[in-house]
Amino acid sequence: MEVTKTELIDVVLLTPRIWTDRRGFFLESFNAREYERTGIPTHFVQDNHSRSTYGVLRGLHYQLAKPQGKLVTVIRGRIFDVTADVRRGSPTFGQCVSVVLDDVRSQSLWIPPGFAHGFCALSEEVDVLYKCTEYYDPPSERGICWNDPTLSIQWPIESPILSEKDASYPQLSAEGKSLPDYIIGR
């Protein structure tokens, strides 16, 4: 497995070795020893699977009281995946990293607790699987507006399909003034 660091502290892209032949392919999608070696937790308590159609944008989501670390993988299709650092006091607070994940390279993105996460479907249909280090906790669910100008995310579509909840999330406060209470501590 190849580990590539991103611009955000502790967010890493994992590229598995893929064996292909005339029958198809084989890869290890999870190996606890390899993940421990890279510093990624191996205790996950919940797996989530979402299916989206082209242009659907989900996020940017995180949990306040019970932050989730997420290991995100596309098992069918292609997404534009975004991670934003919302850890108060972090040197990369308010910064984002984006990657394209697909079912060809089968990469995974490790997103530690304290980061907001979202993605946009780039293929006709996409299946995203993500392992979580903490259970879903509805009372602590929070989000940031997908098109927040302070995050400067260069989404590949102009008019995404959003849920009502995702469309109503607040923006990250400009220039650190009056930070909303939804920003989690480090």
Residues tagged active-site = 61, 130
Q: State how far the Cα of 45 lies from the Cα of 143, in Å rounded to an integer.
A: 21
Q: Which amino acid is at 36?
A: E
Asked if 143 contacts 108 with a C-beta cutoff of 8 angstroms, the reply is: no
Q: What are phi and psi of 165, to 5 degrees?
A: -65, -45
Give CA–CA dist 14/183, Å, rounded.
Answer: 27
Any alpha helices (H) in the chain, and if so which ranges? 32-37, 164-168
**Cβ 93 vs Cβ 86: under 8 Å:** yes
Residue type, 139: P
Chain centroid offset of residue 48 CA: 12
As a whole number of angstroms, the distance between CA 60 and CA 82 comes to 8
Distance from C-alpha of 70 to C-alpha of 40, rounded to nearest angstrom: 10
